[in-house]
Amino acid sequence: MPTQTFRLNGETVTVDVEDDVRVLWVLRDLLGVVGPKYGCGINVCKACTSHVNGRAFNPCAVRVGDLADDDEVTTIEGLPATVGATGDELHPMQEAWLEHDVAQCGYCQPGQIMAAVALVGKARREGRTITDADLDGIRNICRCGTYTRIREAIVDGEGRM
Amino acid sequence: MTITGPAGSTGLGQDQAGRTTPPAPEGAGNGTVSRRGFLGFVLGGATLVAAAPFVEAPPAAADGIPTLPQPAEIYDLNDFLTHISIPTSQLITITIDEDGGASFALPRAEVGQGITTSTAMIIAEELDLPLEKVRVSLAPARPELLFNQLTGGSNTTISTYTPVRVAAAVARGALLDAAARLLGDNVDQLVTKVGGIVEAPDGRQVTYAELTIGAAATNDRAVEVRLPDRPEGRVVGTPQNRVDARDAVTGRKEYATDLQVEDAWPTMVCRAPTLNGTLRSVENLDAVRRMPGVTHVAELDFGVAVRARTFGQCIEAVRVVEAAWKDGPVAGESDASVLRGLQASQLPLPALPSLPLLVRTINHDVTFYFRSNSPMDTNSAVADVREDRAEIWSALKSPVVAQAAIAEAVGLPVSKVTVNVVQGGGSFGRRLFFDGALEAARISKAMGVPVKLMWHRADDARAGRVHPMCTSRIRTVLAGNEVVAFQQSLTSIETDFRHGLGDALTAFAADLPTGLGNLAFSETVFLLTQEVPYNFGAVVQTLTEADQRFNTGSMRNIYSPDVRAASELVVDRIAEAVGKDPYEFRRSHLRNDRVAAVLDKVAEEGGWGREMEPGTAQGIAIHKEYKGATACLVEIDCRPETVGREVRDAVTGPRVTKVVFAVDAGLVINPRGLEAQMQGGINDGIALALTSSLHLEDGHFLEASWDNYFYTRQWNTPPQVDVHVMPSDSPQPGGAGEAGVAATFAAVACAYARATGTTPTHFPINHLDPLAFEPKPFVPPVPPAPTNGLDLTY
């Protein structure tokens, strides 16, 4: 069985599994990293949204064999450390999420937060701030319908980042 | 959010240090607040265990009783759900732990509606504890609770509020008794202070942590406590964040598929191509067994179960299954044929009053298509079934019924089946049923190993529970400008109530042959939830159900959103016919002050009647249920440039640009949580009106994932949503989880009709448009996982 190596939340991980298993299942079923959620398996619900090398991606749609040894995968579990947070400290976007009490059932929320952080990063690379059109374009589904608070939290979180 | 008016204080005395007085002896109190006596218990235990029976008969509805009340006005579903618990109730217990915090196992399911938070708030209030020192978990199936373990009908807080208060008050009294012994003071002179401390007049303090062992009882004893009608409001009535918010935003909140139960490996099912089809035979069993990662394959009537090292490998294995299937009961059927069947089942409408000259009739018929409750967290469960015992983990709203059904299915006595209730990633009615848990148990038994079953999204959309298709027919009679008769006849695919009332006995009754048992449940629920809150003369609402072949259930309410949307559309047409403004017409015909107040609120805050651009319009509607009242004002944009805006793999269409919502939910425990539930319900109402349905074609639902099933998305959600929580002096909390949907659906429907000049005859309005997606194949039943994720980063 092939050995897969990539970086996960700041550490190098190695796992024995076939090349074509999607990263989501390597994370959840083999490494016990369950923050990224399953909601569709075909990259449309975005509940598994995580980061690869600082950009949002959906691990349900990436074969583990397609990750390079030095590809840095960040899940919600590793998000605080990306801004140097330690211990119980959180990423500013997570803080905004708490401030606005966004979550209801909570299932889609790790993906929503990871998408929000990436969206702020994208806007900054383009030299601008988040617009209503950016918010309208977010594809992450929230079946509880927390969209209003998600929008408020993203704008708040952008200011904190 | 705005909270208008007084924050729900009763004016009860509370000193400036935030201290509250202990439960007053009989006849005490401050003379202005009535206190009622309740029986509780201190139970034997290592630390203090306080208990209360689930017994509380709410006073009869105090709302103004109209001259000819409909059943739901004087005795609604929540009264029913509360009252049936009385003769059979058993105890709920609050334990004071050695760290001085309180623990409570709530016999309900938390699926996002916020009941763990609101329950913790009620306990924190009564015990003078900070919220973070109250730990609320979910109780496993407790068959002795009988009717008392069903989460539904937005009933949790309505039914558990007083028992939880009583148990907490018992605990507080026992802590004070223990402190009196320790400090040598008279118990009447001691006070609890915020933070879990008892203080004597001279300032000496002792903590709950120091008291709980001393307060523990060796034998059970009954005690009486007295409670003010309303809590003082130190915690209750204040906006609080969810107790599980931090776990949710850090990814630590655990759902069934996150549980690490030893050897419970990922398991999925290959299902039939037609709805509820059954397995005849598998042609390539060995090939499936040889797929990478696969450990077990089992043939069951509902499909071929595969267990593998990862869910990804389960998906691959499901996709290679070659099997022969027996068609399901709706093979060959489509929306149109099912609708024809419904129409054939429609009863003759009741005779209208004899019509003198100068009367007008306004009639309107509407079809509501199938919809999916589609929680993000698909049907899932962990099951470990052994020879002599079984243990299940799943998000279950009727765990007692699930326990009985699973015990029967795996051939064990109920006492050998442990059913653990896990937090659910949404429900919207889905988790009233236990389809995943029952399948998981049967698969575990068949394979002889523990399994972690997860439905693929495609299964969830195509074979999961749906809200039934139904038709509404309304006939109204106007004499001059007065409505003298209003008749509404709902004809629906049967709604499954076979979860009964949460206990195995009534579930069995609901499952009587020929559907007669279930019919009695549906008729009862319909009668207890529906009313027309207007003075419309002779009002009749009826329900006829037909066709039991579908997997149905509630979906964030059962009948109300459809009934209200159809009714309010007709109310607008009547208003137009008599030359009245929609708001003024409603206002002058409402029979209930609480409904009038929420209607006034949204009209005022939402700027009702402001000038709107052509192609845009306001809509306004009301709803009364769950011991409360709601009203909604929306603005919709139906201009071509908006309707035609393009988003990849999406439905756009009319955009609701603004929602102003008012809710009177009686005594509000957590206004922040209530606002959240209304915001969510608003998006559900918009989905029902505009975008969200399942298409039945040739025996299967076409929708298979979120790029087919169009629940409200960010590009559909209103940029502006204002929720107003009304002040209330009610001593009784109302329901929240489903309360936002009906008025919103109705208001969006009315706004759409006003913006376009066309009163819709089906919902959602886009259902008969050309399909907005290419249906995914039915064989194999689940789509392949993409591989291009690294090309789509941002």
- The residues with which B538 forms a beta bridge, in sequence order, are B485
Give chain B's mean pLDDT.
Answer: 89
Least confident of B153-162, B236-245, B387-396: B153-162
Residues B337 and B343: their CA atoms lie apart, in Å, by: 10
User: How far is it between the farthest Cα atoms of chain A?
Assistant: 48
Dihedrals φ, ψ of B265, to 5°?
-85, 160
pLDDT given at position B79: 64
Say if the Cβ atoms of A38 and B454 lie within 8 Å: yes
pLDDT at B204 over 60: yes
Specify the range with the lowest mean pLDDT, choosing from A49-63, B339-353, B424-438.
Answer: B339-353
- Which residue of chain B has the CA closest to A116? B794
Which of B511, B531, B630, B595 is CA-nearest to residue B71? Answer: B531
Tens digits of residue pLDDT in B506-557: 776 677 665 667 777 788 788 888 889 999 998 989 999 988 899 999 999 9
Q: What does the alpha-carbon distance between residue B739 and residue B621 come to, in Å, rounded to a whole number?
A: 13
Chain A contacts of B788, Cβ < 8 Å? Answer: 61
Q: A11-25, B30-44, B745-759 — which is least confidently predicted?
A: B30-44
**Per-residue confidence band for B695, with pLDDT thresholds at 50, 70 and 90:** very high
pLDDT value at B356 more than 70: no
pLDDT band of residue B262 (cuts 50, 70, 90) is very high
A71-110: b (≥16 Cβ within 10 Å) or e: bbbbbbbbbbeeeeeeeeebbbbbbbbbbbbbbbbbbbbb
For A142-151, write each residue's pLDDT tens digit. 999 999 999 9
Q: pLDDT value at position B750?
A: 98
Give contacts of B111 with chain A, Cβ < 8 Å.
Answer: 105
β-pairing verdict for B221-228 and B35-43: antiparallel
Q: Where are the alpha helices (DSSP H) in B377-434?
A: 399-410
B717: nearest CA partner in chain A: A147
Q: Are strands B49-53 and B35-43 parallel, antiparallel or unpaired?
A: antiparallel
Closest Cα of chain B to A12: distance in Å?
Answer: 19
Most confident of the following: B18-32, B114-128, B540-554 = B114-128
State the pLDDT at residue B766.
98
Question: Is pLDDT of B1 > 80?
Answer: no
- For B280-328, the pLDDT digits (tens) are 999 999 999 999 999 999 999 999 999 999 999 999 999 999 999 999 9
pLDDT at B57 over 90: no
Tell me, what's the ipTM? 0.98
Q: Which residues of A touch B260 (CB under 8 A)?
A: 32
From the candidates A16, A71, A134, A144, which should be mutated to test the interface with B, based on the most B CB atoms within 10 A?
A144
Say what the pLDDT of residue B21 is. 36
Least confident of A6-10, B32-36, B406-410, B444-448: B32-36
Inter-chain residue contact A145 with B681, CB threshold 8 Å:
yes
pTM: 0.93
Amino acid at B437: A
Residues of B (566-605) whose Cβ lies below 8 Å from A? none
Residues 6+ apart with CB under 8 A from B248: A103, A106, A109, B242
| B16 Cβ contact list (under 8 Å, min separation 6) | none
Quick one: average pLDDT of B431-442?
97
Question: In angstroms, rounded to a whole number, what is the distance separating the alpha carbons of residues B746 and B562?
Answer: 8
CB within 8 Å of B709: residues ≥ 6 apart: B372, B374, B461, B692, B694, B703
pLDDT-derived band of residue B357, with 50, 70 and 90 as boundaries? low
